[in-house]
Amino acid sequence: MNSRKMLVTGGAGFIGANFVHYWLVNHPGDKIVVLDALTYAGNRASLKPVETDPNFNFVQGDICDTALVESLLKEHQLNTIVHFAAESHVDRSITGPDAFIETNIIGSYSLLKAAKKVWIDGPKSQGLESIPHRFHHVSTDEVYGTLGPSDPAFTEETQYAPNSPYSASKAASDHLVRAYHHTYGLQVTTSNCSNNYGPYHFPEKLIPLIITNILNNKPLPVYGDGQQIRDWLYVEDHARGIDLVLNKGRVGENYNIGGHNEWANIDIVKLVCQLLNQRFSQDPGLAVQYPQAAAAIANKAESLITFVEDRAGHDQRYAIDAKKTQQELAYVPQVSFEQGIDLTIDWYLNAQDWLKTL
Ligand code: NAD
Q: Quick one: pLDDT at residue 73?
A: 98
Task: Give the predicted TM-score (pTM) of the model.
Answer: 0.98
What structural domains and CATH numbers belong to the chain?
5-201+233-260+318-334 (3.40.50.720)
Q: Which of 22, 109, 166, 331 is catalytic?
A: 166
- Per-residue b/e over 191-204, b at no fewer than 16 CB within 10 Å? bbbbbbbbbbbbbe
Statement: residue 296 has pLDDT above 90: no
- Strand segments, DSSP code E, in the chain are 5-9, 31-36, 56-60, 80-83, 134-140, 188-193, 195-197, 220-223, 229-234, 254-257, 262-264, 305-308
- Asked if 341 and 275 touch (Cβ cutoff 8 Å), the reply is yes
**What proportion of the chain, given as a percentage, has pLDDT over 70?**
100
C-alpha 279 – ligand 1 centre gap (Å): 31
The DSSP line for 220-245 is EEEETTS--EEEEEEHHHHHHHHHHH
Q: What is the dihedral of CA 98, 100, 102, 107, to 10 degrees?
A: 180
Statement: residue 344 has pLDDT above 90: yes
Q: Which of 87, 142, 243, 315 is catalytic?
A: 142
- Asked if 93 and 169 touch (Cβ cutoff 8 Å), the reply is yes
- Asked if 140 and 98 touch (Cβ cutoff 8 Å), the reply is no
Residue nearest to atom 19 of ligand 1 (CA): 62
Task: Please give the average per-residue pLDDT across 176-186, as a whole number.
Answer: 98
Which protein residues touch ligand 1 with a CB less than 6 Å away?
9-10, 12-16, 35-39, 41-42, 62-64, 84-86, 88, 103, 107, 138, 140, 170, 193, 195-196, 202
What confidence tens digit (pLDDT) does each residue in 145-162 have? 999 999 999 999 999 999
Angle between helices 265-282 and 291-298 (to 10 degrees): 110
Residue nearest to atom 12 of ligand 1 (CA): 10
Mutation pick for ligand 1 pocket among 84, 137, 320 (CB with most ligand atoms within 8 Å)? 84
Give CA–CA dist 69/61, Å, rounded. Answer: 9
**What proportion of the chain, given as a percentage, has pLDDT over 90?**
97
Nearest to 269 by CA among 294, 238, 304, 298: 304
- Asked if 36 and 42 touch (Cβ cutoff 8 Å), the reply is yes
How far apart, in Å, are the Cα atoms of 101 and each of 98, 105, 166, 194? 5, 5, 8, 21
- Asked if 319 and 256 touch (Cβ cutoff 8 Å), the reply is no
- Per-residue b/e over 150-168, b at no fewer than 16 CB within 10 Å? eeebbebebeeebbbbbbb
Nearest to 253 by CA among 156, 170, 319, 173: 156
Average pLDDT, the chain: 97
Q: Which helix (H) or strand (E) holds 211?
A: helix 206-215
Task: Please give the average per-residue pLDDT across 173-178, as a whole number.
Answer: 98
Q: Quick one: pLDDT at residue 320?
A: 97
Name the pLDDT band for 299 (thresholds 50, 70, 90).
confident
The verdict on whether 166 is a catalytic residue reads yes
Give CA–CA dist 127/6, Å, rounded. Answer: 25
Longest CA–CA separation in the chain, Å: 73
Name the pLDDT band for 1 (thresholds 50, 70, 90).
confident
- Ligand 1 atom, smallest distance to 205 CA: 41
What confidence tens digit (pLDDT) does each residue in 207-247 have? 999 999 999 999 999 999 999 999 999 999 999 999 999 99
Give CA–CA dist 285/134, Å, rounded. Answer: 49
C-alpha 88 – ligand 1 centre gap (Å): 5
How far apart, in Å, are the Cα atoms of 351 and each of 12, 43, 102, 239? 16, 14, 32, 21
Give CA–CA dist 30/1, Å, rounded. Answer: 11
Name the pLDDT band for 75 (thresholds 50, 70, 90).
very high
Q: Quick one: pLDDT at residue 162?
A: 98
C-alpha 165 – ligand 1 centre gap (Å): 15
Q: Quick one: pLDDT at residue 295?
A: 87
What is the residue type of 44?
R
Q: Quick one: pLDDT at residue 74?
A: 98
